[in-house]
Each structure stands twice: as C-alpha cells, then as structure tokens.
Amino acid sequence: MYLHFDQIPKSNTFASLPDDFYTRLPTTPLSQPRLLHASSESARLIGLSPAAFSESVFLNVVSGNVALPGGDTLAAVYSGHQFGVWAGQLGDGRAHLLGGLKGPDGLWELQLKGAGQTPYSRMGDGRAVLRSSVREYLASHAMVGLGVPTTRALSIVASADRVMRETMETTAVVARMAPSFVRFGSFQHWAAKQRPDLMRLLADYVIDHFYPECKAFDKHKDSDAYQYVRLLEIVVQRTANLMADWQANGFCHGVMNTDNMSILGLTLDYGPFGFMDAFDAGHICNHTDSQGRYAWHAQPAVAHWNLYQLANSLHLIVPDADALRQALDSFETFFLSSMQKKMMSKLGLTDWQDGDHVLIDDLWSLMHRNRADFTLTFRQLAHVSGLTDASAVQIEHDLGGTVNASIQPFVDLFIDRDDASAWLDRYRRRIAQQGSPTNHERIQSMLASNPLYVLRNHLAQQAIEFAQEGDNSEIERLLTILANPFEAKAGFEAYSALPPAWASKIEVSCSS
Ligand code: AMP
Ligand code: MG
C-alpha cells in the first residue's frame, strides 16, 4: 500500500486519445480546503494506504490545489439530450480528470467534481455545493453496499468558498473514481459533428480497455463494423441490468439525460437522486422534473430511449441499421429477466411458477395503493414465515412470538391491513409450496437480498447539516451501516425506522 499518489503507477489512457476529446487545463485551487472524509475502501482500490489521508499531499491533490503527480489534467467534451431535447455540446463543466491510477486489480480514472470552470462550463461556476457533494459521496458508498454498479467516491473536501444557488452555499470537491467516465453523450458528440473517424477512435478505445470480447468475431464473415454492434449489445445488457438494480432498490436517478449514462453501465452523476420512502410508482425525485420524465416507473423505458440515441450515433460507423436495431431490441428481454431474478430473490422464490407474475404485480399495486415504505416492505416480508412449513414454528419461537408476530410488522406497514393480509395469505401459501429451502434458509437469503438500511433523503439531510458545521460524524455513522446495509447493527435502530414527517418536505432539485 502506498502512502503518496506519486508512488502509484499511472496510465493516462484517456489523455492518450487525440486532443479533440478534451481540453487540458489545471484545476482552480480551493480556499481553506479541509478533508471532510475519505474512504479507506476506495483508497484500497488504487493501492493507497488510509494513512495517506493525513498527509498534506493527499489533501492538496483531492482538493484540486496541486496537480496529480504523473497525471494529465483535462476536461472531456461530450454532448447529449437533456430531458429528451437535443442540447448540443455539454462536456465536463465542473469535472477534471486527473489521470489513470493502476490499482492492484485494475486501472481507475481519478476525477474531481467541483474543482473550477472549464471551457464546457457554459454559464456555470464550475463548483459543486457541499450539500450535493455529501449526497454524491454517500450515495456512491450506498450503491457499493447494495451491490449496484456505480462510480466510486474517494474523498470529500469542504471549503470556505461560497457560491450562489437558491441561496449562498459553501462549496466542496468530491474525488471520484471509475474505470471510465465515458458517456453515451461522448459518442453522440461525434455523430453530431459527423466525425466517423473520431467516433471509431472512441469506440476502439472503449472496446480495447473494457470490452475486448467485441473483437472476437469472424473476420471472413462479418465486417469490421460488427465489433461496434457487439459493443452496443454489451452496453444494452449492462444498462438493462443496471435498471433492474435501480428498480429493485427503489432508486430514482432523477436526471437520466444521455450525458449522464455511463458506457460501462455504472450509476453516474448523482444529482437529485432519491431512494424511495413511501412507494409511489410514479415517484419523481427531482423537483425540477415537472413532467415526471424520469419518474421511477419510467426509468427502464428512458434507458431504452437513451440506448436508442447511442445506437443512432453508432449508425455513423455501422451501416447495418438492422443489426443495431436487433441489439436494441434485446433490452426488454435482458431487463425483464434481470428484474425477475431480483424479484425472486427479494421474495425468496426458488423457482418460477405460473402466477408469480401476478403475485408480484399485486404486491407492487398493494404497496402503491398504501404508499407502503419501499425498503421496510421487503425487509419485513423476509421475516414472514411460510404457512405449512414445519420449521415455521421454530422460527416464530426464535423471533420470540406467535405466528402473528412474524406477520404483524409487515401488515402494519399498510393503511389497509385487510388488503395486506389477503396478499400475504397468497404469498405464504406460495412459499409453503416450496419444499426447499427450509423456512430458515429462505429468511436468511431474503435478509441478504433486502436491505434494512438505505440512504433515505432525511438521513442524507442530517449528514449534510452536520457537515455544514464541519462535523463528519454523521457521514461516518451512515457509512458504517451503508457498507453492509443487509446486516442489522445495534444502536442504529433509528436509521432503519420509517422516515419522520419532515422527510416528505425535502425538495431536491437539479441545483447542485
Ligand atoms: P448534470 O446533468 O448535473 O450532470 O450536468 C449537465 C451539464 O451541466 C454538464 O455538462 C455539467 O458539467 C454542467 N454543469 C452542471 N453544474 C455546473 C456548474 N456549477 N458549473 C459548470 N458546469 C456545470
Ligand atoms: Mg452530468
């Protein structure tokens, strides 16, 4: 484990692309930077020892006050559709790629968010406020804990600098890491500019570094362009899996513009995201999204639409539109099968039977009608014992109660308890039909699939308010439970409780 950034081997692969892809420029120093938090787990990925966090070199680099030794600082250009409308050129308006770090298991690009203006800042100040930075920092960790693909957060640095949003707010810089920050919009950029040569370079870069399997095709049978169809197929599959992950965790991204869609299928660019409290299929987490374009239930279809834009761009280097269309069409199958697998493990189903679709759809409807808490509904379901399973008695004994003791916490989450009980009867009968695993095993596997803790808005809000006072203890506490959100921790009961009334008043907008 290294103590300094300069000891980590570098490979600035993105910077090795021609300079059409970016602008080289330094970050803008931050006044009175103070390390609010750094992640040992993220540091380990790049071979950096957590002991580095107390070194001034670390703070200087992750605040953007000193360039990464051996790095190559740049802002990347891309374009995209925002809220369904072509926005033209965008680019890293407040992100700087510092360089590529060779970790023990692979290469990580290190990027700072909020380290000053770039040629792509348009009207923006190039800064990020502490509020949204804490949210990104926590959310990246929450996703890792849930097993959802995401960019990583290495550190968060607070500053005395202030910027204007709805009110004056203090700024911060998050250092984040991903194997690549290339977006759908990076491809759209070259389609808009009618530059097949540069798009091919970008596609080859992505294939060489991340999807080498695309190169395995029969050169006698298929044209060179076939590898780009394979690229689309893989991105379709990864994105479909990501959507299933989001849906199964009640996660809303909030700004699924094509420039926020990762070519690696990672959750990228945390803005007004939200993990749902009360389930509403049409939940809109972004206060600015008045039309509900990015509502929870719309996310898979939006991802498909975004993939269509990527395919449309790739058409510039793939003449065979039918092949691209076919790759796009596989989205639904990938999404549905991934979603089915996730729902099976969330409900503890070991096989798929006729009627399971209806059972699951009816659960969503029940939750929606009752605005039942997303996370607790599934978590409490795990504690419900099967009807005729002999080991149920033992489980109920272990839980310290009667048969009803296993059911009551679930039923109590619903306003209409009869409605909930009726569905639960069907579920328990369904579970009882499964000979194996035992009730105990099912409960254990369901507890491992249904988190107890999620980054609820009000929990993030508490951490923000502490951070605004210079206190990182709430971030620390949240990270303790979010690192393994499936395991109940003594002393953290309040973190898994239903949200307080004020939580529904929190408004999260694009302003960050
Ligand atoms: P987003 O949808 O938040 O990921 O951002 C959309 C575009 O606006 C990207 O090109 C960002 O770099 C840019 N942007 C957002 N906020 C700022 C800011 N404060 N300063 C400069 N550019 C920004
Ligand atoms: Mg963005």
The atom number, within ligand 1, closest to the CA of 163 reads: 19
* pLDDT value, residue 437: 74
Ligand 1 close to Cβ of residue 124 (< 6 A): yes
3-state secondary structure of 149: coil
Instruction: Region of 45 please: left (phi>0), alpha (psi -120 to 50) or beta.
Output: alpha
Query: Would the pLDDT of 400 be above 90?
Result: no
Q: How far apart are CA 246 and CA 217, in angstroms?
A: 33
Ligand 1 close to Cβ of residue 257 (< 6 A): yes
Asked whether residue 282 is marked as a ligand-binding residue, the answer is no
User: Which range among 204-208, 216-220, 344-348, 411-415 shows the weakest confidence by mean pLDDT?
Assistant: 216-220
Q: What is the DSSP letter of 162?
A: E
Query: Would the pLDDT of 97 be above 60?
Result: yes
Q: Do the beta carbons of residue 155 and residue 40 sit within 8 Å? A: no
Ligand nearest to the CA of 132: 1
Ligand 1 close to Cβ of residue 204 (< 6 A): no
Percent of the chain with pLDDT over 70: 96
**How confident is residue 507, by pLDDT bands cut at 50, 70 and 90?**
confident
* pLDDT value, residue 267: 99
Please list, residue by residue across 372-402, b when 16 or more beta carbons sit within 10 angstroms of its beta carbon and e when fewer do.
bbbbbbbbbbbbbbbbebebbeebbeeeeee
* pLDDT value, residue 70: 98
> How close are the terminal C-alpha atoms of the chain, in Å?
35
**How confident is residue 406, by pLDDT bands cut at 50, 70 and 90?**
confident
Place of tokens 């970050």: 27
Q: Do the beta carbons of residue 187 and residue 212 sit within 8 Å? A: no
Average pLDDT rounded to a whole number, residues 64-77: 98
Return the domain boundaries, the chain.
185-345, 349-447
Tokens representing residue 187 in the block: 């491809």
Q: For 283-292, which contacts have Cβ atoms below 8 Å and span 24 or more sequence positions?
A: 283/252, 284/252, 285/252, 285/253, 285/254, 285/508, 286/252, 286/254, 286/255, 286/508, 286/509, 286/510, 287/507, 287/508, 287/509, 288/509, 288/510, 288/511, 289/83, 289/254, 289/255, 291/83
The residues that bridge with 176 in the sheet, in sequence order, are 111, 153
* Ligand 1 geometric centre to CA of 284 (Å): 20
User: 63 burial class (0-12, 13-18, 19+ CB within 10 angstroms)?
Assistant: buried
Non-local CB neighbours of 419 within 8 Å, separated by 6+ positions: 366, 369, 370
* pTM for this prediction: 0.96
**How confident is residue 434, by pLDDT bands cut at 50, 70 and 90?**
confident
Q: How far apart are CA 141 and CA 475, in angstroms?
A: 11
Non-local CB neighbours of 317 within 8 Å, separated by 6+ positions: 196, 199, 200, 203, 225, 228
Q: Is 356 a catalytic residue?
A: no
Q: How far apart are CA 175 and CA 153, in angstroms?
A: 6
Asked whether residue 105 is marked as a ligand-binding residue, the answer is no
Closest C-alpha to 45, from 105, 112, 109, 110 = 105
* Ligand 1 geometric centre to CA of 134 (Å): 17
Tokens representing residue 173 in the block: 């810089």
Tens digit of each residue's pLDDT (9 = 90 or more) over 340-372: 999 999 999 999 999 999 999 999 999 999 999
* pLDDT value, residue 297: 98
User: Which range among 104-108, 326-330, 395-399 shows the weakest confidence by mean pLDDT?
Assistant: 395-399
Specify the residue with its C-alpha closest to ligand 1, atom 12.
93
Average pLDDT rounded to a whole number, residues 165-184: 97
Ligand 1 close to Cβ of residue 92 (< 6 A): yes
Please list, residue by residue across 130-151, b when 16 or more beta carbons sit within 10 angstroms of its beta carbon and e when fewer do.
bbbbbbbbbbbbbbbbbebbbb
Asked whether residue 93 is marked as a ligand-binding residue, the answer is yes
Ligand 1 close to Cβ of residue 126 (< 6 A): yes
Q: Largest alpha-carbon pair distance within the chain?
A: 70
Specify the residue with its C-alpha closest to ligand 1, atom 22.
93
* pLDDT value, residue 404: 61
Mutating to test ligand 1, I would choose from 25, 90, 171, 288 the residue with most ligand atoms within 8 A of its C-beta, which is 90
Ligand nearest to the CA of 91: 1
Catalytic residue among 161, 259, 289, 373: 259
Place of tokens 């296993």: 406
* pLDDT value, residue 218: 77
Tens digit of each residue's pLDDT (9 = 90 or more) over 233-243: 999 999 999 99
Q: How far apart are CA 268 and CA 283, in angstroms?
A: 20
Percent of the chain with pLDDT over 90: 89
* Ligand 1 geometric centre to CA of 120 (Å): 9
* pLDDT value, residue 220: 76
Specify the residue with its C-alpha closest to ligand 1, atom 17.
124
Average pLDDT rounded to a whole number, residues 74-80: 98
**How confident is residue 229, by pLDDT bands cut at 50, 70 and 90?**
very high
Instruction: Region of 355 please: left (phi>0), alpha (psi -120 to 50) or beta.
Output: left
Q: How far apart are CA 245 and CA 345, in angstroms?
A: 12
**Rounded to 5 degrees, what angle do the CA atoms 148, 346, 382 make?**
125
* pLDDT value, residue 399: 55
**How confident is residue 392, by pLDDT bands cut at 50, 70 and 90?**
low
Ligand nearest to the CA of 82: 1
Tokens representing residue 442 in the block: 């099912």
Asked whether residue 176 is marked as a ligand-binding residue, the answer is yes
**How confident is residue 224, by pLDDT bands cut at 50, 70 and 90?**
confident
Query: Would the pLDDT of 387 be above 70?
Result: no
Query: Would the pLDDT of 403 be above 60?
Result: no
Asked whether residue 64 is marked as a ligand-binding residue, the answer is no
